[in-house]
Amino acid sequence: MDRSEFSTLQEVALEARRRLNPNVWDYLEGGAESETSMKRNRHSLDRIALKPRVLRNVVDIDCSATFLGHEMRLPVTIAPCGSVEDINRGGTLAIARAAEEFGIVSFLSASSPTPPDLEEIATETRHPKVYQLSVRGDPAAIDERVKRAIDAGYAAIGLTLDAIVKGRRERDKFNRHVPSSSSNPVVDVPAATESTLTWDHIKRFKDSHDVPLVLKAIATAEDAALAVEHGVDVIYVSNHGGRQLDHGRATIDMLPEIAKAVGGKAEIMIDSGFLRGTDIVKAMALGAGNVAVGRLMCLGLAAGGQAGIVRVMEILESEIKTTMGLMGVTRFDQLDPSYLDQARPVSPPGLASAYPLLDATAAN
């Protein structure tokens, strides 16, 4: 199939599954242990119903947003993902190029296999990018990587906080599958520094580096308030897509209390389980400034490389515009929790609750 012929996200997901090695598909689809956290991410999104308003002029719908002052075509960023080279060779650069082509921000994960390195990504693309680090190694080594990213023009530095212990991803263990990021020398080192990370390290970072800081894996109002106290610029609500701590809360359930604790003093972004335009709209109504997509981006990457990711974003944009128009709003700042309600999910949570054709084709 010509990638330009994808008309729905379901087609993209089906093509991705067809193209991927089954072990890599399981790596992409799976979560930690019983996969309860992963399923809760979808379950909580699926049980939020939309409350549309009518008799409103919705001729001109504006889906644009900003991230740290940078204009974006959608309130969507490409989440930091490791092992993307397993999904599509050349995937690290393809992701950055797709983000630039479409007009959104992307994260570069330090766990992405190299080459290309962070400087090459910066040279090849000019759009705003965030360099995402898991804090491992001595402080001098961390400072050196941060300086390299700043010198290369990255818009912000992100720190991943929920990888102090590697989650037990049992699909990978069952399949004896070792993702390529596990052998990356940047991350394949003792995690002693990461395991001893405290708020003092965040203070040191802010005192040492003149660059916006994103903290990924904030999951409570208490930690969000502490992040604001430490001058963090972006609160990134995440449970690692349910791939680290099992039996945690869904990120969409964390969002309202975190938004209240932040009180507009920092930007808020969220990830984990977001697969549809309706999901994006729900997050924006609950206080997010933008939504990071990981699995969704990987589906596009698997289905068609750079062009596949761009097509995913185009379809997502269409879904968002349709949802906003049918809800009676033309801008995201018109949304609030009054546009949402609780309802029973209509299918078991997972990729197939967003893309039911995955189950339908598997049954045939």
- Asked if 33 contacts 179 with a C-beta cutoff of 8 angstroms, the reply is no
Backbone angles phi, psi at 76, to 5 degrees: -135, 130
Burial of 331 (0-12, 13-18, 19+ CB in 10 A): middle
Ramachandran quadrant class, 66 (left: phi over 0; alpha: psi -120 to 50; beta: rest): beta
- Which residues, 6 or more positions from 15, have their beta carbon under 8 angstroms from its beta carbon? 1, 6, 302, 303, 304
H or E segment to which residue 206 belongs: helix 199-208
Q: Comparing C-alpha atoms, which of 251, 229, 247 is closest to residue 239? A: 251
- Alpha helices of 66-158 — where are they, by DSSP H? 84-87, 91-102, 118-124, 139-151
Among the listed residues 43, 127, 177, 240, the single catalytic one is 240
- Asked if 74 contacts 105 with a C-beta cutoff of 8 angstroms, the reply is no
Catalytic annotation on 127?
no
Could you tell me the two tokens for 352?
A: 């197939």
- Asked if 99 contacts 125 with a C-beta cutoff of 8 angstroms, the reply is yes
The residues carrying an active-site annotation are 240
